[in-house]
Structure 1
Amino acid sequence: MSTVDTQSLMLQMRSLAAQAQSKPVDPLQGIQSVEAAGKPENFAQLLNSSIEAVNEQQNLSKEMKESFERGDPGVELSEVMLQAQKASLSFQAMTQVRNKLVDAYKEITQMPI
């Protein structure tokens, strides 16, 4: 079993964090925009594609973790950790969207007619 140089790992993580902070993040990455598609996309399709994108992030994270645990030489710990964070953040964002949708639904159902 190989040992991990913690100082080197920390330096890599700090440099990756600095890179992540300097780049603007597209929250809809992986989702095809309405203009690019050339056809209008309804809300259900947009929500479904968002959920599928989150699922892909989760599956990729799982696969990378399993590859790292098997000792695959092509998988670095830093890559595994970054993908796990991406999957976690995308899931948290999806959860927040769901919460807002539930709140909006409750508000609409309580409106007087």
Structure 2
Amino acid sequence: MKTGGIDSSQIQAMIAQLKAAATRPAATPPAIQTEKVAPKPDFTDAMKGALDAVQASQTKAEGMTRRFQMGDDSVNLSDVMISMQKASINFQATVQVRNKLVQAYHDIMNMQV
């Protein structure tokens, strides 16, 4: 029997595979570990790194702006504008990520258990 283009025997076979995988005992880790395991990326570290990068781009744009205003000939107006736009885009992206995280938090808190 076909259900929406998929044969029901294929569905039954997939369910059987899933049940077999669920009942299989978990693999035990080796007693002695000879290889170094790469550290797992930490969300806090990744977020801090992203925020530090945004702050660095804003600081660079502010410094270039100040140098241009003081009359430094080595700084072009186009370079100042580009660095300001990069800092602005970085900040906007960070705000959007924050908004998505807050929305996800609210969605999780409003879930029925």
TM-score above 0.5, yes or no:
yes
How far the C-alpha of 1:51 sits from its partner, in A, is 0.4
Cα separation, 1, equivalents of 2:77 and 2:41? 38
2:74 is paired with a residue whose SS is: coil
Matches within 5 A, 1:43-82: 43-82=43-82
Tell me the TM-score normalized by structure 1: 0.65
What letter is aligned with 1:87?
A
Cα separation, 2, equivalents of 1:40 and 1:73? 46
User: Which runs of 4 or more aligned residues in structure 1 lie more than 2 Å from their structure 2 counterparts after TM superposition?
Assistant: none
Instruction: Look up the match of 1:101.
Output: 101
How far the C-alpha of 1:112 sits from its partner, in A, is 1.3
What letter is aligned with 2:81?
M
What letter is aligned with 1:94?
T
Instruction: Look up the match of 2:39.
Output: 39
Task: Name the count of aligned residue pairs.
Answer: 76
Instruction: Look up the match of 1:10.
Output: none
Cα separation, 1, equivalents of 2:104 and 2:88? 24
Instruction: Look up the match of 1:110.
Output: 110
Cα-to-partner distance string for 1:53-102 (whole Å, 9 max, x where unaligned): 00000000000000000000110000000000000000000000000000
Cα separation, 1, equivalents of 2:59 and 2:72? 17
What letter is aligned with 1:49?
G
- Aligned-residue sequence identity (percent) comes to 41
State the structure with bigger RCO (CA 8 A, min sep 6), 1 or 2: 1
What letter is aligned with 1:83?
S
Note the aligned Cα RMSD (angstroms): 0.9
**Structure 2: gaps spanning 5 or more residues:** 1-37
Cα separation, 1, equivalents of 2:39 and 2:73? 44
What letter is aligned with 2:58?
Q
